[in-house]
Amino acid sequence: SSIPKIVILGAGYGGVLTALRLQKELNYNEADVTLVNKHDYHYFTTHLHMPAAGTDNPENARVNISKLIDEFKIDFVKSTVVQIRPQDKKVILEDGTLSYDYLVIGLGGEPETFGIPGLAEHAMSIRSINSVRLIREHIEYQFARYKLEPHRTDYLTFVVGGAGFTGIEFIGELADRMPLLCKQYDVDPNLVKIYNVEAAPSALPGFDPELVEYGMDVLAKKGVTFRIGTAIKECTPSGVVVGDNEEIKSATVIWTGGIRGNRLIEEAGFETMRGRVKISDHLLAPDSDHVYIIGDNSLMFNPEGRPYPPTAQIAMQQGVVCAHNLVASIRNQPLKEFTFSNKGTVASLGKGEAIGVAFGKKYKGRVASWLKKAIDIRYLFIIGGIQLVLRKGKFL
């Protein structure tokens, strides 16, 4: 047919917002829209630190895609993308092929291990529903194992690599979970050790120093040992080697230290930096008028020339502009330039504690923790309206 085909890869923050906006803005039969995702659900990464530590159920961090999109307007295909072929305008799935006139790549990031030996093999990372289920079960299993091998204190030692937002939020939950697991498995809480190892000279690099100090204080009181300015040299089956060849024996290493773009993108021939493509102000791939790249796979610079960090916040805003530009292209109208509007950042530190900057002000403690909830509820409202807020919001 002569109806243009739009294919969206990935139903993450960027892909879902693009799809929702297209479904609203396109007229009947103006375009065929297909959304491809490897699971039939969308997950809230901003909530994954809780199910990873076991302080919440993974069910509360996901929603079925059929509950979000109107399947009369958008074809949803549950499949895994295995190759993108820009020259042929085709996408190869594990079980078929799709051709497109316009492509939106929103496949999200992958953990970046910076070539640190053993990390990819022996560390776990918080990135999806499947990965957090594994982490949660793994942590609990260590307590069960320890009871049968009480000389193995490494079962009760937990190492989190990276003190960025993900690392800090996870550590807050992990520290909250420990007393509960100790009680459940009759383990002396003094035997549990939680280390947060970060190579940079401070936790949450770039964040307000006063809030960082407050946050580290809260976590230290919950029993976290910080090793800031200390690089992980190697990860082995028995733990990590840090700094000057010091070994921390641990059966649990969670890596949160970095993120890169999806490997399919460089394999498709796009020029990338750590897997991310420098896109135009219209969100297009270099020299393209029909391939949009958004979210963690895109690289954009602020007016001072520094790259924006990959966040759900920017991915969502890009999704909105991407949909606008797709509709404009189809109607031969001018494209819009993307400008990022920073609404602020809040990091939780476990139950009832958080730090954040929003509306140009600093927040900490309970107020910041409410703010975090408000942000998560706002997101549920944007993608799923009041029904989704009522179904999932109470758990946040």
Catalytic residues: 169
Residue 187 or 224: the one with the smaller Cβ distance to ligand FAD is: 224
Task: Let me know how many helices (H) and strands (E) the chain has, helices first.
Answer: 9, 24
Which tokens in the block code for residue 377?
Answer: 């509820």
Minimum separation from the CB atom of position 16 to ligand FAD (A) = 8
**What is the three-class DSSP state of 346?**
strand
**What is the three-class DSSP state of 272?**
coil
Residue 389 or 396: the one with the smaller Cβ distance to ligand FAD is: 396
**CA 315 to CA 318: how far, in whole Å?**
5
Residue 343 or 366: the one with the smaller Cβ distance to ligand FAD is: 343
Q: Would you tell me which residues interact with ligand FAD (CB under 6 A)?
A: 10-15, 36-39, 45-46, 48-49, 80-81, 106-108, 126-127, 165-166, 262, 295-296, 310-313, 315
Taking every pair of Cα atoms in the chain, the longest distance, rounded to a whole number of angstroms, is 71
**CA 223 to CA 156: how far, in whole Å?**
13
Angle, CA 10 vertex, CA 9 and CA 15 arms, to 5°: 95
Other CB atoms within a 10 A radius of the CB of residue 105 amount to 31
Which tokens in the block code for residue 119?
Answer: 């990390």
Place of tokens 């800031």: 228
Minimum separation from the CB atom of position 163 to ligand FAD (A) = 13
Q: Are 118 and 266 in contact (CB under 8 A)?
A: no
Residue 76 or 165: the one with the smaller Cβ distance to ligand FAD is: 165
Minimum separation from the CB atom of position 166 to ligand FAD (A) = 4
Amino acid at 240: V
Minimum separation from the CB atom of position 221 to ligand FAD (A) = 23
Residue 216 or 314: the one with the smaller Cβ distance to ligand FAD is: 314
Minimum separation from the CB atom of position 21 to ligand FAD (A) = 14
